[in-house]
Amino acid sequence: MLVDVKKGGVTTIPGLNQIQFEGFSRFIDQGLMEELSKFQKIEDLDHEIQFHLFVETSQLVEPLIKERDAVYDSLTYSSEFYVLAGLIWRASKDRSTRMQEQIIFLGSIPLMNSLGSFIVNGIYRIVINQILQSPWHLLSVRIGP
């Protein structure tokens, strides 16, 4: 909590855990989809085969283990991330199109627990935000007349 002398009020600063947790939640809910939507289709040189990711149908499944078990068994507390992918074939002779869809595994995403930390290989890890400094900015203080 900070006291603002000029305005005569009190300002509350949110806890670091809350900031970390909100940032991680934003990444899971929005950021992951935004980044995957930037993924362009992959096409062969003849433009006959295309590969697409359909991020609207992505799924983050429940973790297979509990936090406590991850610590005891030296495992990572994570969730598997799946997305729908499509492979499109275009036949140049008769201009027909055929598509095959399949849900694919993209990777495991470590999950943040309620304390704002991650469990990686059974060890609690924390992400610490660092304020970047400009190397050429110096603080000078004058004392006295």
pLDDT mean across residues, the chain: 82
Confidence category of residue 46, pLDDT binned at 50, 70, 90: confident
Interval 30-51 mean pLDDT: 86
Residue 78 has pLDDT above 80, yes or no: yes
Interval 97-118 mean pLDDT: 90
Question: 58 phi and psi, to 5 degrees?
Answer: -75, 160
Over residues 113-132, the pLDDT tens digits come to 888 889 999 999 887 665 55
Burial (CB count <10 Å: 0-12, 13-18, 19+), residue 119:
buried
